[in-house]
Chain A
Amino acid sequence: MSDIQTSTHAQTGLLPKVGAFLRDYYIYFVLVAVVLLLSTANLDKFDLFERGNFLNKNNIINILRVSAPILVIAGAFTMLMISGYIDLSVGSAMSLSAVVYALLAINGVPFLLAFVLTVVVGIGLGAINGFLVVRLKITPVIATLITLSLYKGVALLLVEDGVSAIKSGGGLKMPGWFNGYGRSGIFLGLPAAFWVAIAVTIAFVVIQRRGVLGKHAAATGGNPTAAKLSGINTGRVVFLLYILVGVTAALAGIARSSFMSLGDPLSGDGMELTAILVVLLGGTAFSGGEGRVLRSFVGALIIMALTVGMLTLVPAYYQTLVIGAALLAAAASNHVITRKGRAE
């Protein structure tokens, strides 16, 4: 408390410390604020999920279940953005994986094989992005815009004309195990898809903080020339990161497809926006070079709590506006935070 007097001098004392503290941990305050807001608001007006409190156990389980896709993507996407690159095709890659996974399952391929094959498809999709960006040197935005269109087109073509998604019918039936991965609670009432997302996030937190790939990604984003001159194969780093994003997009597709019990070729639409949003919310600089996987994970929790929780407060047609405004707000606050961080 005695520091309050000295804090009036902006150079030393409490204020900069508070500033630094806020900069490092603001995302957790935002999460707490959003949860408080949603849990104290009147939820009795609509009966969309569980009647009652936002903090109701079933409601939390439901939010975490539908969050599995974005939670699993956030880590790899953060690393990619830290290295200064972007992947706009992640939503289409997710849709395509969802369709492939459902197609395999409905044609009698057992769970593990279908899972592995879909992940292999994800590796391939990521490798195509990596090839376009690293080998052919096409600007990341354009390269992944091309594959956004390509993957979406392939996903739509895999589903027969006149049918909206791969689902039971026409003599084929989804196997009984199909929606277990995304729905049935295996631990604390949460499904395997969620725990896979947690494991992937932990892996990326460790890679970022302790792994060589994490250091190289930050170096590539911070100053590509310097990174190259110090012997880092930046092309290989970026290629690998695109593959990792492809793999997590496949995992997200499997989770979504299993949760919805169908292979919807549009199920990943907009995921690239959500991914950019949560990474920016987590304070990763757009220019690359710095950022934290864990903060993006928290950012993803905030966005999912907000989008699902919001449905109980306002009609669904407010969603686009709120997400767009959140994206702008995240970008603006990110700008303020990273600029202050650099000035000091």
Chain B
Amino acid sequence: MMSETVPRPAPHTRRRMSDESFITLLVAGVAVGLFLFASLMVPNFFQVQNMINLVTNNWAVISLGIGVTFLLVSGNFDLSVGGIVALSGVLSVWFAQAAGDGNPLSVGLGLPYPLALACALAGAMAIGALNALFVVRFGIPSIIVTLGTMMVARGIAQVITHGSQRNTNLPPEFGYLGNLSMFGTSVKFAVVLMAVLLLVAVFIEKRMVFGRITYWIGTNPVAATLSGIDRGWHITKLYLFSSAIAGIVGILLASEFKSGYSNRGTLMEFDALVIALLGGVAIAGGFGSVIGMFFGAIILAVVTSAATGLVLSPDWQYILKAIAVFLAIVAQTWALARRNR
């Protein structure tokens, strides 16, 4: 990975805020505004614990959103992450289950636990490599490729678990990582990992050449290629990066529940896409940020938890998501058009 930093502009030059920062601020403002509005409407909403829960309950989707956001910025979809979450979780269980005879669902490969995790992660990244192969080498639209690999990943998980789950014959340390609390609080390791990933991602995005190349490719792929950027290899790295995050999320979830469940992570790929869109990431590429995606996740979390607080039927969540994305897209387009008039 390249480590040169982008030169900072001289501190005294006054610049107009970029469109991207403008949209990110807008999204953050909407997130805060919605939270205050929900606090007025829903009893007991305005509590510190509730604010913390809005973030910690969504660590999985926010983590997935990082890889998805980078890919969207480069002009590519990744809908395979939900399937990879299921696959890596199931693989980690299957590899770690003790070998032997008996019920086919309780017999695994009996690998040592660290090796089992490494192999599960490798399996997840194999799906990322498959994405890259089809998108980069064959030039097939990423939405179709990743819909296919989503089904392939989940399909493999279903074959391994016979369509249900594996949760027996596991080594005692299996449940440790997913239930580990940090700093003597109830904050889980997974949440801390999400925060670290977010910070690293923001740094890469804003300050490192790797991040800026991602924007360049998304803005103008032809110009990027003509300037000597190996576009294919860059997108390959992004898919591997995204699948690795999804693999880790799957492993942590499997550890938390001490089971490999083939339907885990269903629709997570759509939620990751939805929070990126809410956060102002443009699917045409070249525009958006990880911070925006984070606030997009907060918007979605506030809307869905406020709906639950108002005792709406859970079926409402689909309609609320649809309306939220619709309003976000229309509002962002309108705000940008107005600003640049």
A residues at B contact (CB < 8 Å): 86, 132, 136, 138-139, 141-142, 145-150, 152-154, 156-157, 161, 273, 276, 280, 286, 315-325, 327-328, 331-332, 334-335
- B271 → chain A, closest Cβ, in Å? 10
Within 8 A of A (CB), among B137-170: 138-141, 143-145, 147-156, 158-159, 161-163
B287–chain A nearest beta-carbon distance, Å = 13
Known: A139-B284, A156-B315. A273 touches B330 (CB 8 A): no
- Given A139-B284, A150-B319, A161-B313, are A320 and B143 also a contact pair (CB < 8 Å)? no
Task: List 9 A-B pairs, minimum CB-CB distance, nearest first.
Answer: A321-B155, A324-B151, A153-B318, A317-B163, A153-B319, A150-B322, A320-B155, A156-B315, A324-B152
Known contacts A142-B283, A149-B322, A153-B322; is-contact A323 B155 (Cβ 8 Å): yes
A321 to B151, Cβ gap below 8 A? Answer: yes
- Interchain CB contact (< 8 A) of A276 among B144, B315, B320, B329: B144
Query: Which residues from 66 to 123 on chain B have a C-beta closer than 8 Å to any C-beta of chain A?
Result: 77
Q: From residue A5, how far is it (CB to closest CB) to chain B in Å?
A: 34
Q: Which residues of A contact B159 (CB under 8 A)?
A: 317-318, 321
Q: Is the CB of A316 within 8 A of B163?
A: yes
User: Number of B residues contacting the other chain (C-beta, 8 Å)?
Assistant: 46
* Complex contact A280–B158 (CB within 8 A): no
Query: Would B163 and A286 count as touching, CB distance under 8 A?
Result: no
B266, chain A: closest CB distance, angstroms: 10
- CB pair A145–B155 under 8 Å, yes or no, is no
Q: Is B257 part of the binding interface, using a Cβ–Cβ cutoff of 8 Å?
A: no
A324 is contacted by which of B139, B148, B329 (Cβ under 8 Å)? B148
20 contacts between A and B (CB under 8 A): A86-B143, A141-B143, A142-B325, A148-B322, A152-B318, A153-B316, A153-B317, A153-B319, A156-B315, A157-B316, A161-B313, A273-B147, A315-B163, A317-B161, A321-B151, A324-B152, A325-B152, A327-B151, A331-B148, A334-B140
Measured CA separation A320–B157 after assembly (Å) = 10
When C-beta atoms are compared, the residue in chain A nearest to B160 turns out to be A317
Interface residues of B in 269-324 (CB under 8 A from A): 270, 273-274, 277, 283-284, 313, 315-323
**Chain B contacts for A152, CB-based, 8 A:** 318
Contact call A332/B140, Cβ cutoff below 8 A: yes
A321 to B159, alpha carbons, bound, how many Å? Answer: 8
Q: How far is the CB of B109 from chain A (nearest CB, A)?
A: 19
Q: Which residues on A sit within 8 Å (CB–CB) of B150?
A: 324
- CA A322 to CA B325, docked complex, whole Å: 32
Q: Which residues of B contact A (CB under 8 A)?
A: 77, 130, 134, 138-141, 143-145, 147-156, 158-159, 161-163, 262, 270, 273-274, 277, 283-284, 313, 315-323, 325-326, 329-330
Chain B residues near A321 (CB-CB < 8 A): 151-152, 155-156, 158-159
The closest CB in chain B to the CB of A273 belongs to B147
Shortest CB-to-CB span from B274 to chain A, Å, is 8
Question: If A152-B318, A317-B163, A323-B151 touch, does A138 touch B145 (CB 8 Å cutoff)?
Answer: no
Q: With A136-B330, A286-B140, A318-B155 in contact, do A157 and B149 touch (Cβ < 8 Å)?
A: no
User: Taking the nearest CB of chain B, how far is it from the CB of A146, in angstroms?
Assistant: 5
Dominant secondary structure at the B interface: helix
Contacts of A132 in B (CB 8 A): 326
When distances are taken between beta carbons in the complex, the residues of chain A under 8 Å from B144 are: 276, 280, 286, 327, 331
- Given known A142-B329, A321-B151, A327-B144, contact A149–B162 (CB-CB < 8 A): no
Structural contact, A149 and B318, CB atoms closer than 8 A: yes
Contact partners of B141 in chain A: CB under 8 A: 286
Distance (whole angstroms) from the CB of A319 to the closest CB of chain B: 8
Chain B neighbourhood of A147, CB < 8 A: 322
User: Which residue of B144, B153, B156 has the most chain A CB atoms within 10 A of its CB atom?
Assistant: B144
Of chain A, the residue at the smallest CB distance from B330 is A136
Among candidates A138, A156, A327, A334, residue contacting B318 with C-beta atoms closer than 8 Å: A156
B133 to chain A, nearest CB (A): 10
Say yes or no: A157-B158 contact (C-beta < 8 A), given A146-B322, A273-B151, A331-B148. no
Inter-chain contact A142/B277, CB cutoff 8 Å: yes
Known: A276-B147, A321-B156. 9 other contacts (CB 8 A): A138-B329, A145-B270, A146-B329, A153-B315, A320-B155, A324-B148, A325-B155, A328-B149, A328-B152
Specify the chain B residue showing the minimal Cβ separation from A334. B140
A234 to chain B minimum Cβ distance, whole angstroms, is 19
Chain A nearest Cβ from B183, distance in angstroms:
37
Specify which chain A residues have a CB less than 8 angstroms from the CB of B313 in the assembled complex.
157, 161
Which one, B130, B162, B318, B319, contacts A317 given CB within 8 A?
B162
The smallest C-beta distance from A18 to any residue of chain B, in angstroms, reads 23
Asked if A328 and B134 sit within 8 Å, CB to CB, the answer is: yes
Contact call A157/B315, Cβ cutoff below 8 A: yes
A81 to chain B, nearest CB (A): 11
